[in-house]
Chains A and B, each alone.
Chain A
Amino acid sequence: MILENSTQRGLGQSLDLKLIITYLLLVVIGWINIYASIHSSDPASIFDFEVRSGKQAVWIATAFILALTIIFVIPPRWWEGFSVWFYAGVVFLLVAVIFLGTEVKGSKSWFQFGPVSFQPAEISKITTSLLLATVMSQTNYKISKFKDFLLTVVIIGLPMLIILGEKETGSALVYVGFIFVLYREGLSGWFLALIGLAILLFITTLKASPYASIVILLALLCISNAFQTKRHFWKWIFIGSGVLLVLSLIPWIWNMISSAAEEKAAIFNAVPFIPKAGEERSYFWSFIPQIKPLYFILAFCLGAIIFFSIKAFRERRTFLGLSVATLVAGLVLIFSANFIFENVLQDHQRKRIEVLLGMKEDPAGVGYNVNQSKIAIGSGGLLGKGYLQGTQTAYGFVPEQSTDFIFCTVGEEWGFVGCLIVILLYVFLIARLMYDADRCRESFTRIYGYCVAACIFMHLFINIGMTVGIMPVIGIPLPLLSYGGSSLWAFTILIFIFIALYRQEKKYF
């Protein structure tokens, strides 16, 4: 005991109090906003257990107990030791819920035990992070080794696919965030870039045209090759054609900007029918996208693919070769995007993407949530309407307002300042997790820390992005703020495992 005291640091030194305070702040902000979101003309007490604010108080209290248990009771070594079993157990639950779960809003992902319901997908983030950290912290693990890389992909992909099968697209999308962890652990930055490129191409293909996507793809390839090649002649060829391609996009971008500036009222049912003068807008550039140079550019691509693949093969230029492969893959993606969109995606997902991309306006249907959410946030202004003074959220215009759309209440009642504070708290939380992780000597703790940061980041970006209309409505909670025990518990466990691991490091090193 004496020995322990001399080597161990005190509680205040070993625990990252800043992290814990940020956590507490977010939980409390969530709680008071949940109360505001259900606040109506007939207000109940914030502790009234009949309503959500009261229930959330219970969830918060139990979450604190969980946190304390994790810090002080459970030996931190267990997390690494049992990670395979945890993972296996949760995968089993994920599959089981498909057969045994109750259906909520079109997806079978909840277990219902009397009044308590529980979503395995929430916990699977934790177990996946644990196993990922365990595997990647092995001494002989190298992400550049194909076998290791494949194992990593399987660990992430398995729960993701099952969750996708449960039609919880949002929860599945969170797993994409693990790519940042892989990047931190040595995955090539190009890999990240390729995934970004694939998403960009998918969107531009659907939103604009295959032509625009191909031009973007070619322009990016030209520019990156210009940086790579050492020979002057080719450098200038690549720069020149890259610039030309970018220039050819100008009319398209111009059109997008000018039509966005017009702000076609997306919400006919909310605007009080002020008749607009039917002014004719002339597009100076509009004739250009109408010429269909798609076939020319395709022929050009074909020529380029053949020419450069021969060149790359002869001169052993890996980057050039990979560029050609990217071009081929990109073309395949562009032309199958439509197929994926029409045949792979679910009906409601397709509609949501269409609404999000502005391809369809449907303020009363799919667009309703986003529309009302944007109205609620937008009406907040700089300082907000004041606590409990929100009209939008209080009247129930915003659906799911205490769970997925809790940020609306923040936006309406606390204004831009409130949004700024909440987002900065999250940024601090995520950045702090990353700094702490990097300070750890054990790779397990470091990798796990990055996993936690990645999960919170993905939730944050998708959720707030959804409420302000830059992400599709795919219903995932805002960490710590949204109403719901399942989610609050999951994030509490996720974060406090790291805090416990970190404490152990501090204690002994």
Chain B
Amino acid sequence: MDNSRRTKLIIGLLVAAGILLGRIFYIQIINDRYKRDASNNSMVYDIIYPTRGAIYDRNGKILVGNKVAYDILVTPREVQPFDTLALARVLEVPLELIKEKMAEYSANKRKIGFQSVVMLKQISVETYMRFDEVKYMFPGFKGQSRSIRDYPVNAGGNLLGYVSEVDQAFLDKHSDEYRRGDYAGKTGIEAAREKDLRGEKGYHIYLRNSHNQIEEPYNGGADDVEAVPGHDIVTTIDADLQQYGQELMKNKVGSIVAIEPSTGEILALVSSPGIDVEQLADIGKYYGEISKNPYKPMYNRAVQASYPPGSVFKLVNGLIGLQEGVLQPSYMYPCSAGYHFGAGRKLGCHNHRSPLNMEESIMMSCNAYYCYVLKNILDNKKYDNVEEALDHWHDMVLSFGFGRKLGSDFPAELSGGIPTGKTYNRAYGKGHWNSTTVISLSIGQGEILATPLHLANFCATIANRGYYYIPHIVKASEGVEIEDRFYEKQYTMVDTVHFPKVVKGMWRAVNSGFGSGGTASIAAVEGLDICGKTGTAQNPRGKDHSVFICFAPKDDPKIAVAAFIENGGFGATWACPLASLMVEKYLKGEVKRADLEKRMREGNTMVNVRTR
């Protein structure tokens, strides 16, 4: 028994030794990961940062380029006693900062090991040149060139987005691809197209011997990896139009969105107040200021703010009425300063002649007309009840892109909201509401919410007479692809034959001349055939919002614009002339209506905006 037990124990001993040796064999011979890591400890990696891709506008103008700045790196283990004061003077930083940093490094000595850490970021070329001359006095310190963003034109701060150093939360999510000290796009195109823009980092490896001196390039430089520059991005933005829009929107709160109807390409996306590109370049410095601004410049109103669309929405109801067969262009409805329903209740309207047919109702923006239209849609005998009719109406509205995210390539797009039967069942109880309860839907008030992008897309749909392309901001270019969906026509549930009838009304709204009752006469530009529709969105929290959508030219639309001016009052007061100026600028290249332009530039609606 004794010897057999000893034999078993010896076998156990050999197995245990075998496990240890097997493991050692694995990490020493089979797996070369540890060798690579060891090299990392004894090799010096000189990281080469790629040039980030530039961002162009549709005409080849650079919106975002790069310029050179320098980081100062320290390898704490190579630092020898030095004149801290001299270094602080050369680098133009306070002495305390240097002392503080050095103390921090010696506290984290073990963690840092022989790695280099970034001490100062983005110092200017001039400062770096001065440092370079006296570098020999400060062993362990070196400069590393790095390209930072440069913005030649002040256009599209909000949609371009900014680039900043990655934070811990970001690193946790993308630990494979980023390391501390790397930069990444945080908002706008910079974020949406980060993968294309960033490129790939490279490195040169140098060897260090056991006396801690750098000897030579490792492996004759064969393992060095060169950086791959990022792809350039071509946007659909027209820099001139964008810049013009930003200038017009000074001192106004709201947004202007311009789309090329034949492609869905976004020509301009102005959100005001916005971020200046100067602030973008050094976002860290301005971040506090920007986030304290009561008008929230970071907030991209063009895609993130939902408002009731107001009278602009009458067009949607008109089209649905036509499709459902409850409306014909020839139908006339009376308007006695509003639409009367029930016991003395009425939805008011402004003063115009009565009765009107459909075209005239668009031209003069009659409220009563669309109350009749909506009532006919909802009380259609085709449907069992008003709930079913409203659900069907909801589906048709959604086919225009309202009430959902359009699926643009712009991050953080909001979906707005279109009510369904359930919405009112919840509010009033099933069976306790009818078409008059929800009558304000007819004129784009009530439970309808849409973003300026929705409105611009809707306008492009009318311009195309019945379909749209999903709005997008990045064009396909060499090495950069956009998804197929941006090339597909999106049809609405309204037949294309009905659209020309509405277009006529929109043309007359603009081009009937003053005194005709057309609501958007101020938008008219000779030879441009602008078609438009005003809106005045009631706002329980202050002055009405001013809304306008338009496209031009009528028969070969090149541009569709939606303008939304918060607390601007009537649609014709601000939104209408602003949108019309954008159209003129884009189609003619210059604006002839100098007086109007001056009035718009100098106008200030910001004073009406409450900042809670």
> Of all chain A residues, which has the CB nearest B113?
A397
User: Is B34 in contact with A395, judged by CB distance below 8 angstroms?
Assistant: no
Set of chain B residues within 8 Å of A276, measured between Cβ atoms:
176-177
User: Is B208 in contact with A273, judged by CB distance below 8 angstroms?
Assistant: no
Give complex CA distance A378, B25 in Å: 9
User: Is A395 in contact with B3, judged by CB distance below 8 angstroms?
Assistant: no
Expressed in whole angstroms, the minimum distance between the Cβ of A180 and any Cβ of chain B is 6
A183-B9, A382-B28 given; A270·B37 CB < 8 A? yes
Set of chain B residues within 8 Å of A374, measured between Cβ atoms:
27, 34
Give complex CA distance A350, B42 in Å: 32
B33 close to chain A: CB less than 8 A: yes
Q: Which residue, B2, B115, B176, has most C-beta atoms of chain A within 10 A?
A: B176
Expressed in whole angstroms, the minimum distance between the Cβ of A304 and any Cβ of chain B is 31
> Of all chain A residues, which has the CB nearest B201?
A273
- Which of A354-375 touch B at CB < 8 Å? 364, 368, 372, 374-375
A374-B27, A382-B28, A416-B25 given; A391·B9 CB < 8 A? no
16 A-B pairs with C-beta separation under 8 A: A184-B5, A272-B45, A273-B177, A376-B38, A378-B27, A378-B33, A382-B28, A391-B41, A391-B208, A391-B209, A392-B42, A395-B113, A395-B114, A426-B17, A430-B13, A469-B27
> Of all chain B residues, which has the CB nearest A380?
B28
Give complex CA distance A378, B209 in Å: 18
Set of chain B residues within 8 Å of A382, measured between Cβ atoms:
28-29
- Which of B249-286 touch A at CB < 8 Å? none
Set of chain A residues within 8 Å of B210, measured between Cβ atoms:
41, 388-391, 394-395
Q: Which residue, A180, A272, A376, has most C-beta atoms of chain B within 10 A?
A: A272
Expressed in whole angstroms, the minimum distance between the Cβ of A365 and any Cβ of chain B is 9
Set of chain B residues within 8 Å of A378, measured between Cβ atoms:
27-28, 31, 33-35, 37-38
A272-B203, A391-B208 given; A468·B41 CB < 8 A? no
Digit string of B512-535 for contact with A (CB within 8 Å is 1, else 0)? 000000000000000000000000
A180-B9, A416-B24, A470-B19 are known contacts; what are 9 more A-B pairs with Cβ within 8 Å?
A41-B210, A189-B8, A273-B178, A275-B200, A372-B41, A378-B27, A379-B38, A394-B210, A415-B28
Interface size class of A (residues with CB under 8 A): 35 or more
Expressed in whole angstroms, the minimum distance between the Cβ of A378 and any Cβ of chain B is 2
Give complex CA distance A2, B115 in Å: 73
How many contacts A-B (CB < 8 Å)?
A: 145
Q: Which residue, A41, A274, A368, A378, has most C-beta atoms of chain B within 10 A?
A: A378
User: Is B203 in contact with A423, judged by CB distance below 8 angstroms?
Assistant: no
Digit string of A264-287 for contact with B (CB within 8 Å is 1, else 0)? 010111111111101000000000
Expressed in whole angstroms, the minimum distance between the Cβ of B582 and any Cβ of chain A is 41
Give complex CA distance A372, B37 in Å: 9
User: Is A468 in contact with B40, judged by CB distance below 8 angstroms?
Assistant: no
Expressed in whole angstroms, the minimum distance between the Cβ of A136 and any Cβ of chain B is 14
- Which of A408-449 touch B at CB < 8 Å? 411-412, 415-416, 419-420, 423-424, 426-427, 430-431, 434-435, 438
- Which of A179-195 touch B at CB < 8 Å? 180, 183-184, 186, 189
Digit string of B158-184 for contact with A (CB within 8 Å is 1, else 0)? 000000000000000001111100000
Set of chain A residues within 8 Å of B3, measured between Cβ atoms:
438
Option from B10, B27, B175, B179 in Cβ contact (under 8 Å) with A468: B27
A481 close to chain B: CB less than 8 A: no
B426 close to chain A: CB less than 8 A: no
A423-B20, A431-B13 given; A391·B38 CB < 8 A? yes
Digit string of B29-68 for contact with A (CB within 8 Å is 1, else 0)? 1010111111111100101000000000000000000000
B598 close to chain A: CB less than 8 A: no
B211 close to chain A: CB less than 8 A: yes
B110 close to chain A: CB less than 8 A: yes
Q: Which residues of B contact A (CB under 8 A)?
A: 1-3, 5-6, 8-10, 12-14, 16-17, 19-21, 23-25, 27-29, 31, 33-42, 45, 47, 110-111, 113-115, 175-179, 200-201, 203, 208-212, 225
User: Is B203 in contact with A468, judged by CB distance below 8 angstroms?
Assistant: no
A461 close to chain B: CB less than 8 A: yes
> Of all chain B residues, which has the CB nearest A180?
B9
Give complex CA distance A269, B110 in Å: 13
Report the 7 A-B pairs with minimum CB-CB distance, sorted nearest first. A378-B34, A379-B38, A391-B42, A378-B27, A41-B211, A270-B37, A375-B37
Option from B6, B24, B35, B225 in Cβ contact (under 8 Å) with A379: B35
User: Is A270 in contact with B28, judged by CB distance below 8 angstroms?
Assistant: no
> Of all chain B residues, which has the CB nearest A394?
B210
Give complex CA distance A375, B114 in Å: 15
User: Is B21 in contact with A420, judged by CB distance below 8 angstroms?
Assistant: yes
A273-B201, A391-B208 given; A419·B13 CB < 8 A? no
> Of all chain B residues, which has the CB nearest A371?
B37
Expressed in whole angstroms, the minimum distance between the Cβ of A406 and any Cβ of chain B is 15
> Of all chain B residues, which has the CB nearest A468?
B23
User: Is B203 in contact with A377, judged by CB distance below 8 angstroms?
Assistant: no
Give complex CA distance A380, B37 in Å: 12
Option from B6, B179, B200 in Cβ contact (under 8 Å) with A438: B6
Give complex CA distance A215, B25 in Å: 32
User: Is A465 in contact with B20, judged by CB distance below 8 angstroms?
Assistant: yes
User: Is A184 in contact with B36, judged by CB distance below 8 angstroms?
Assistant: no
Set of chain B residues within 8 Å of A271, measured between Cβ atoms:
36-37, 40
A457 close to chain B: CB less than 8 A: yes
User: Is B27 in contact with A377, judged by CB distance below 8 angstroms?
Assistant: yes
Expressed in whole angstroms, the minimum distance between the Cβ of B576 and any Cβ of chain A is 49
User: Is B176 in contact with A457, judged by CB distance below 8 angstroms?
Assistant: no
A464 close to chain B: CB less than 8 A: yes
